Structure 1
Amino acid sequence: MNEIPAPVTSVGKTLLARIEDRSAVIGIVGMGYVGLPLAFAVTGAGFRSIGFDISPERVADLNAGRSYIKTIPANKIAEMRKGDGFRASADFTEIASVDAILICVPTPLTRHREPDMSYVVGTATSLQPHLRPGQLVALESTTYPGTTDEVLRPILEKDGLKSGTDLFIAYSPEREDPGNINFTTSTIPKVVGGDGPDALSLACALYGAITNRVVPVSSTATAEAVKLTENIFRSVNIALVNELKTIYRAMDVNVWEVIDAAKTKPFGYMPFYPGPGLGGHCIPIDPFYLTWKAREFDLRTRFIELAGEINTMAPYQVVERLIEALNRRQGKSLKGMPVLLMGVAYKKNVDDMRESPALKLFELLEARGALVDFHDPFVPQIPETREHPEFAGRTSVSLTTEALAGYAVALICTDHDDVDYEAVVRCVPLVIDTRNVTRDLQGTYDNIELA
């Protein structure tokens, strides 16, 4: 896009001045894995902020300087709170006191793989009575193209405030990657779409003050499509390598060796890696937002749906691989066998269990009669989840030599760094590795199988 013009409305000019001199107060709704890092970036840029959350426990923790997310430890909370830079609140009447509202709430799928917009709708409904002229409202939650215009704006305009003149509405998708030490909220380029030129101008000004680079696009729907495209790209390519893994295994070819060699090509190739299934709040969910929206236009998303089928089947294939290896090597069935699941977080070096494939593996193994424990240095206890509440409260076991010797199989699901994998391989008769984390041990021990 060309250079963004300055706001033309008087309320827009006033808000721009407050953003530029850092006197604007920023409200962030949803203090989870997106909202809390965003609050840290906002305060780090010199703005005062209020973190809104419906959880009294989270509000109390933050105001006491405690953190519940490992990537934002307590010392960072203390840094945010210096000089009244940040506080948390469950009182949505305080929305009237902020200049910009950044919405970071969940957008899950229903059991029928349709968008669950209840969090966005509920948040907008809670905000609406307390809005005033001159505020910027930006949605960051991943969603389908048209959400900001079709769902958010009508609720915010309910009592007469008009987008573009009284209120300024924008969409800027979150791009958090928990556990990635190379990128932070402030260093990841921020895509921004506005409902009109003034909204775009103000949103770019705010995010430009918080992040190193802003990427303006022509509309909120375009910005919404950007986020979906990013995650669909990953979902389809992960499905591809999961399918290649199955094919190459039948040919006695190691897919990990193939990928390592292929990625030496300096152009035209990007490495993706197989695994036990998809996890996290984005990749397993976001592609189906576009699938759902495409039906409105009588279109099918065949690539997305096929990728979803392949990735959904990955945990089943891992369990079948485990059963086959156990029978071949030890002449045993899975029923009654003690199995150690290594890692229940959805990715390495984080405590985030959202949509973790480990929970499906838990379910499948226990349904076949296995006696399943887990070890995860980042998840001492499994929290309650929507899909698998039955596992809530289970605690991580220690990796002592005596404990490891009691398991027939260790299934490596999440490749955390802070784990003694050689001790696991040395003590457990069969190790099924879905992440190739034992690559340096495979020439020394013959009890490792890749899955």
Structure 2
Amino acid sequence: MNRLKEKLLNKTAILGVIGLGYVGLPLAVEKAKAGYKTIGFERHQSKIDMINAGKNYIGDVIKEDLEEVVGNGLLSATLDIEEIKNVDCVCICVPTPLDRYQQPDISHVKKAAESIVPYMHKDMLIVLESTTYPGTTEELLKPILESSGLKCGEDFFLAFSPERVDPGNLTYKTRNTPKVVGGVTAACTEVAVTLYQNIIVAPVHQVSSPKVAEMEKILENTYRNINIGLVNELAILSNKMGINIWEVIEAAKTKPFGFHAFYPGSGLGGHCIPLDPYYLSWKAREFAFHTSMIESSMVVNDRMPEYCTERITKILNREKKSINGSKILFLGVAYKQDIDDYRESSAIKVIDHVLRVGGEVLYYDPYVEKFKDGNVEMIGEKDLTEELLKGVDLVVITTAHSNINYDFVQKHSKVIFDTKNAMKHVEDRVNIELL
């Protein structure tokens, strides 16, 4: 342990990151910016080529930072997993999606661990950052890694430190977001804490085990899932009662304690909040426990795309139009504002519902030129023009991008269904209906 800590402190340790996506690439860049030689391992040759050419493909990575660390030789990417043999610390940042039955698919984590085993050496640190169910690090990774013949806590060190990336957040990035670290042993935790303390400027919080760290990450996102489910349910009720839920939330926000604002929408999006509660619900069944509150919120949130389609149908009916054959323009397919990430986007789920009942769909998103998601594949409109707006029967705002001129949209649209309250500052509201 002391040998590895010394290498981390004097920055002679070589660091690795497996998976160079929305989590892995920002982490790899921060490691390199901190002065460590860093190797990124990626299975897509196109991404490897871009990184090694200093070309960025992740919105939260500053282009100049990537160019600098690649240019000075501190960051490189490779397909060759054998290079792990030269790495002292490796972070696993691979996807952990759900399968078709809404069960955790940890095959990518398993494959990453198995790929490390032939090249493991003494005094090596492995950290899992991918979000998963409590127990993954100790029950899945530890046995795989110990099949190398090395003993965890003595010959190598293993920890879990959840990623906390918030794409598009202008304040909190990888470097200044606090880290939670839980090692299999006290020595594992100590080494992992040393790593992160030398990379980020935010505090590093130690917990007693990987299970605590794994549960902590799920708590973060389940907390948001449940509160969004609550406000989505109240949005449906408020609509029936003729109450503006957005005004209600603004009023509640005036309380300086005891209330944190969450907002309704067409559903949940991104890789974490819609998925993480399912990890916990799945694991809970092992203990004959039903996460009733979590499952109830997921029912509400999962239904929102269908509810929004029902609202679209009613709006068109008032205009004496059927949704079947109507031309509908969606503004935004990214899962949140001002980013290009459309993973698990609720906007695309609404589009899918509308297409299934015969609606003719167009979309405009300044960040997403085209997308392919399940059965839906589309190319967006190049420009948001007066002609485009006047040529559709309904405009549906599903992502509140800040670089769209909503006064222009209001002026030239027949009817608008705003699911994000993106048009809250537009004065003329005669053709706007809120979720």
TM bin, normalised by shorter chain, reads over 0.9
Match of 2:40 in 1: 51
Shift of 1:393: 4.9
Q: Does the alignment pair 1:447 with 2:431?
A: yes
Q: How many residues align?
A: 434
Give the 5 Å matches for 1:15-414: 15-211=4-200, 212-328=202-318, 330-382=319-371, 384-385=372-373, 388=374, 390-414=375-399
Shift of 1:159: 2.3
Opposite residue 444 of structure 1, the aligned amino acid is: D
Whole-angstrom CA distance in 2 between matches of 1:66 and 1:41:
16
Q: Indicate if the aligned counterparts of 1:39 and 1:51 stay in contact, CA closer than 8 A.
A: yes
Whole-angstrom CA distance in 2 between matches of 1:417 and 1:39:
29
Whole-angstrom CA distance in 1 between matches of 2:68 and 2:244:
47
Opposite residue 161 of structure 1, the aligned amino acid is: L
Whole-angstrom CA distance in 2 between matches of 1:76 and 1:337:
47
Whole-angstrom CA distance in 2 between matches of 1:57 and 1:124:
23
Whole-angstrom CA distance in 1 between matches of 2:325 and 2:19:
43
Corresponding residue SS for 1:363: helix
Q: Does the alignment pair 1:418 with 2:418?
A: no
1:326-372: per-residue Cα shift (whole Å, max 9, x none)?
111x1111111111011000000110011001111111111111110
Q: Which moved more, 1:259-268 or 1:66-75?
A: 66-75
Opposite residue 450 of structure 1, the aligned amino acid is: L
Shift of 1:444: 1.2
Opposite residue 145 of structure 1, the aligned amino acid is: P
Whole-angstrom CA distance in 2 between matches of 1:173 and 1:393:
33
Whole-angstrom CA distance in 2 between matches of 1:336 and 1:393:
18
Opposite residue 418 of structure 1, the aligned amino acid is: N
Q: Indicate if the aligned counterparts of 1:316 and 1:364 stay in contact, CA closer than 8 A.
A: yes
Whole-angstrom CA distance in 2 between matches of 1:395 and 1:238:
28
Match of 1:4 in 2: none
* Closer/same/farther in 2, CA of residues 57 and 393 from structure 1, 3 Å limit: farther
Moved over 4 A (4+): none
Shift of 1:73: 4.3
The alignment's TM-score, normalised by the length of structure 2, stands at 0.98
Opposite residue 62 of structure 1, the aligned amino acid is: I
Shift of 1:392: 3.0
The alignment's TM-score, normalised by the length of structure 1, stands at 0.95
Q: Which runs of 5+ in 2 are unaligned?
A: none
1:48-97: per-residue Cα shift (whole Å, max 9, x none)?
11111111111011001111112224322102214211011110000010
Shift of 1:251: 1.6
Whole-angstrom CA distance in 2 between matches of 1:227 and 1:282:
9
Corresponding residue SS for 1:345: coil
